[in-house]
Every structure is written in C-alpha cells, then in structure tokens.
Structure 1
Amino acid sequence: MRKEIKLAGFGGQGIILMGVLLAQAAGYFEDKEVAQTQSYGPEARGGACRAEVVISDELIDYTKTLNPDIFVAMSQPAFDKYINDINPETAEVFVDKTLVTNIPETIKHLHRIPATKLAEEKCGNKMVANTIMLAALVKQTNLITIEALKSAIVNQLPPKMQDINLKAIDTALDYYKQ
C-alpha cells in the first residue's frame, strides 16, 4: 500500500506542521514507511505553501507525490494551483469550505470541512484549523489512527499547544457525529 498525500495552503496555516504530524504519526506510531517533503515561498507567512507525505507498507523508492491519493486545500489559491495534479475520479479531496468555495463538479470524492470556522467557534483559535482538517482526513480515510495522530501531537508540539490541538481533534470528530 502506497498512499500519496498533498497538503496545500498559505504559509502560516500550519501546512508544513500537518505534513510533519502525519508523517510522524504514520512512521513513529504505526511503524509505516514515510517520506515527507515541503515547499514554501520566500514570503513564508501568507505565501504559497505545500507539504507532501508518502506513506507505505514497503520501502519508498520515490519521495514525491506523482498521483496524489489525497489532496487537502486550505486556501483557494492553493486549490487552484494544485487541483490539476490530482485525478478527480479517484482522489479524496478535502477543502476548508470556509476558504475554498470555487470547486469543479468533476471531483467525485469531495469533503468540505468548515475547519477555520470550527477552529474559531469551537476552539477559540483559528490557528488549529490545520489540526481539524488533519483529523477530518484521518477520520475519513483511516490512513492512520486518531490515537497515532494524538500521540504525534503530544510528541511534536510544546506543552502549551497540546491541549488546544487535542481539542481540535475532538472538534473534528464531533463534527462528523452531526
């Protein structure tokens, strides 16, 4: 099993952190082979930002995504820039419906998550929209377990950021119970 994930948005939205957490959860806590790469513009905060993660049960021979199985867009410009890299028939596409509104009808597996809205209203901090989106991805794809994601958060983030990010995971899970 080889799964390719492309995550995209603006710098400052935690796109790189999403990639790191996903790779760490899969590699450290689920004993899978992982490769994680990232790219961002010189502006950093506010500029284009992308992270790619490859998760496999076998050794990874190429670390880039060739045909992403999963695409996450946290901004309309990121969606517009990378949507042509995915197969609209097969890819699972996750968008922050608060920020991505112009979506072609050809996408068969579309998940519209109000990540920024949930982060602001339920967590009191829009900076955890990335964690809400990542938890939604995990919940919908079963790529890794929620427990592995929580372990990665505790392992990777400073103590003062752990509680709000764990709350963001619970917020995403509650969203799916509605």
Structure 2
Amino acid sequence: MRTEIKLAGFGGQGVILMGVLLAQAAGYHENKEVAQTQSYGPEARGGACRAEVVISDEPIDYTKTLNPDIFVAMSQPAFDKYIKEININTADIFIDDTLVTEVPEGIKKLHRVSATKLAEEKVGNKMVANTVMLTALVNATKMVSLEAMKSTIAENLPAKIRAVNMKAVDMALEYCGQQGDKQ
C-alpha cells in the first residue's frame, strides 16, 4: 500500500527534518520502501518549504506525491498554498492551529494540533514544534510505530537537542491521549 505525505511550512520550522525522520523511521525501522523529496525557497529561514514522503510496501515508481493521503501545514501561507492540491474529503489534514487559524469548512478529517504553543509552553522551546506535530501525526495514523519514530530521533539528532526533542515526544503523546477524538 502506498501512502503519500505532504508536509509544508516555512524555513526554520523543521519541516524538512520531519520528512527525513519520517522516511528514515519507515525505511530503516519498518523495512518499508520510501522516497523523500524536499523543496525550499532561496530565503531559507522564513521562506516557504515543503517535504514529501512516499511510504510503500512495494517498490516506488514515482517519488513525488500525486494525491496526498496526509497533509501537514505548519503555517497559514503553507496551508493556503497547498490545500488546493489536497482532497479534503479523503486526506487526513493536520494543522498547527497556533499558526493556521483560517481553515475552510468541509474538511472531513481535520486534526488540530497546537504544536508551536505546546512546544513553547510545555517544553520551553518552540523549536521542537515539528517534533510535537510529527508525534501527533504518527500517533494518529500509525504509519510507523512510535518506537521506530523515537529510535530515529535518538539516532539522528545531535546530543545537545536530543533530550528536548524526546521531552517533546513524551509531552505530545500525553497531549494526544488527553485529546482522544477531539482532534
């Protein structure tokens, strides 16, 4: 089964890292076929960026998303730019509702995650909002196991930011447990 994920936001939010970590968790720990691509503007920090991940049980013949099953928007401009490419009747759509405040009616599977607010208030570092969102995404979709995601974070992040990211994972799982079906 092929699962297509589009992640979007602005430079500095860790959108590209989310895509890389998700692909590595699926490929290295879950033995899935994966493809990960990325794009970002010349502005780097603050400019538009996106990452795409394709996860499959079979060889991947096309590495880009054609009809994303999952869309993650970490900023309003990213949401506005890419939502027109997303089937709002079938796709799971995750938004950082701290920064994405204007969402049209009719989205069938909308997941509101206050990633930036939670990272700042509960972890003390808004730079881990991407880890909060990635944890919420993995928890809701089960596309990879939480153990695979945690292992990937532990193996790939430098020691100086590993602890705060693991704290963000634990806090996000607690938040997801409290939210239940409210998302």
SS at match of 1:27: helix
What are the within-5 Å matches in structure 2 for residues 9-158 of structure 1? Answer: 9-158=9-158
Deviations along 1:100-127, one digit per CA (max 9) or x if unpaired, are: 0110112100000000010001110000
Percent identical among aligned pairs is 75
CA distance in 1, matches of 2:16, 2:50: 7
What one-letter code is carried by the residue in structure 1 that aligns with 2:123? C
Does the alignment pair 1:6 with 2:16?
A: no
What are the within-5 Å matches in structure 2 for residues 159-174 of structure 1? Answer: 159-174=159-174
- Note the residue ranges of structure 1 that are not aligned, 5 or more in a row: none
CA distance in 1, matches of 2:163, 2:101: 30
What one-letter code is carried by the residue in structure 2 that aligns with 1:155? E
SS at match of 2:174: helix
How many residues end up aligned between the 2 structures? 178
CA distance in 2, matches of 1:55, 1:67: 13
CA distance in 1, matches of 2:152, 2:122: 22
Give the aligned CA root-mean-square deviation in angstroms.
0.5
TM-score normalised to the size of structure 1?
Answer: 0.99
Deviations along 1:63-90, one digit per CA (max 9) or x if unpaired, are: 0000000000000000000001110000
Shift of 1:155: 1.3
Deviations along 1:152-177, one digit per CA (max 9) or x if unpaired, are: 11111111111111111111110022
CA distance in 1, matches of 2:11, 2:112: 21
Q: What does residue 181 of structure 2 align with?
A: none
CA distance in 1, matches of 2:73, 2:174: 21
What one-letter code is carried by the residue in structure 1 that aligns with 2:118? L
TM-score normalised to the size of structure 2?
Answer: 0.96
CA distance in 1, matches of 2:145, 2:121: 25
Shift of 1:128: 0.2
Shift of 1:26: 0.3
